[in-house]
Chains A and B, each alone.
Chain A
């Protein structure tokens, strides 16, 4: 049962270490161009140059080094945007689901209206207004995706609120607020954690999409989405520029969602 927790944890751990120590881990400067070394294939193919393990792009930049530096942005966006989105959305969801009444009406209508916007266009519009940059990406993700948490956590809180242990807390003389924090919250935490890691994966994807349409951060900083966009133009001559970052992206997003499921199983006393 623990296999997916360990596999996803290991991959994300390696990625985090690589991102943290990128300047020491990366074999080359991710921005160093050398037109004589353009489009070198990865190490197992003919014509590979030693030291450039995953080949180079059309400007001669090392693909592996750019991916390692790209992981910094990806993980930073995942952690910060994911956590902020979770905090805001889950708080609103719990308030709506627990107190119901007018707080629920306001929050739920807001979610309905919010979700009627097409998310990718909404993001592009927001970046256009806020201007490109790491902070803008994080803000855009938080502003768009809090509804996902609010909706799911509200439903979960509603169903927990109907349980008799809530009535029993009232019989025992617990205050409403304390019931919400001490009785309900521990029961929705597994769902929150699963959603949080899912959201981290989504944040990585959104960052890649925004980089892909060149609305991410400046082209000086390598990003996975930016690499995929550059690789797309020369996919027939140098497929590795596209495929390696794409595969890394895929593995990372998958690992985030599996990590969430694994943690949920692990910390649920009923399932354990």
Chain B
């Protein structure tokens, strides 16, 4: 589905811009190469500043890479212009970290899900919206609610429904549970793993939390300072982590202690 080769991306460093002339560049992604085959659920893990969200936004071409190539389903999308990308956009979708920010507060749930469908000229918009609500387990009467009338978990379900309704080939989920409380986290993750099984989705799941990745992903890619330090099957990674940084991440997962007593 995705073939990414030697992907680099830099931003201008405006803090160190000289009085005249161009600002220096800060390189965020330092030559990443990996594939996401069809049907794989890839976990992308890394600390803050590792470049995982930048990588996600580059894959969806919300950002333009400085060099390297991104191929989506055989098409080189690395430097396509926005009008050239538009017909492809239905096929790769994204679920955002903070649904309060990614759902327009002035639209009702129906409009939020129906808008992208209409943009791509899809038929039976009402039917698709109601099926999408069913899939994420939201009652039909939520269609007339505004985002602020929903709970955090319900809002994130709307974000998932919006991405699913377009029937994309690929979905990127960027830290979609990190803003939720623990019980909503569990619900959203259960929903997502159930959808992955039912729809055989190709999914990239960005997270800083390896325990979340472990539940959902078949492969894991560990990112540190803009470089891939390890990529492996999930089971192999948890059994025998190769990189030091992966071991640090694994050590950071809190394990339930069976011998602990409440004081």
Q: Residues of A at under 8 Å CB distance from B?
A: 163-165, 167-168, 170-176, 183, 186-187, 269-270
Contacts and interface: CB of A to CB of B under 8 A. Distances in A.
Given A167-B96, A270-B148, A173 B116 contact: yes
A171 B93 contact: yes
A173 B118 CA distance: 10
Interface string B177-201: 0000000000000000000000000
Contacts of A183: 104
B115 interface: yes
Contacts of A187: 104-106
Nearest to B101: A164
A174 B96 CA distance: 17
Contacts of A163: 101-102
B152 to A, nearest CB: 15
Contact of A171 (B87, B89, B97, B103): B89
Interface string B117-154: 00110000000000000000000000000101000000
Q: How large is the interface on B (under 10, 10 to 19, 20 to 34, 35 or more residues)?
A: 20 to 34
Given A172-B116, A173-B90, A269-B148, A164 B105 contact: no
The 7 A-B pairs of least Cβ separation, nearest first, read A164-B102, A172-B116, A173-B89, A164-B101, A165-B104, A186-B106, A173-B86
A183 B82 CA distance: 18
A165 B94 contact: no
A98 to B, nearest CB: 15
A222 B253 CA distance: 79
B62 interface: yes
A165 B103 contact: yes
Contacts of A174: 115, 119
B105 A168 contact: no
26 contacts: A163-B101, A163-B102, A165-B102, A165-B103, A165-B104, A167-B57, A168-B94, A168-B96, A168-B103, A171-B60, A171-B93, A172-B89, A172-B115, A173-B86, A173-B87, A173-B89, A174-B115, A174-B119, A183-B104, A186-B104, A186-B106, A187-B104, A187-B106, A269-B105, A269-B148, A270-B105
B98 interface: yes
Nearest to B166: A172
Interface in B138-176: 146, 148, 162, 166
Given A173-B120, A186-B104, 10 more contacts: A164-B102, A168-B103, A171-B60, A172-B89, A173-B90, A174-B119, A183-B104, A269-B106, A270-B105, A270-B148
Contacts of B87: 173
A32 to B, nearest CB: 54
Contacts of B103: 165, 168
Contacts of B101: 163-165
Contacts of B102: 163-165, 167-168
Contacts of A170: 62, 82
A140 B82 CA distance: 42
Nearest to A183: B104
Contacts of B62: 167, 170-171
Contacts of A165: 101-105
A167 to B, nearest CB: 6
Nearest to B120: A173
B116 to A, nearest CB: 4
Nearest to A186: B106
Nearest to B92: A171
Nearest to B168: A171
Interface string B75-118: 00000001001110110011011100111111000000001100
From B101, B102, B104, B105, residue with most partner A Cβ within 10 Å: B104
Nearest to A171: B94
From A167, A168, A183, A187, residue with most partner B Cβ within 10 Å: A168
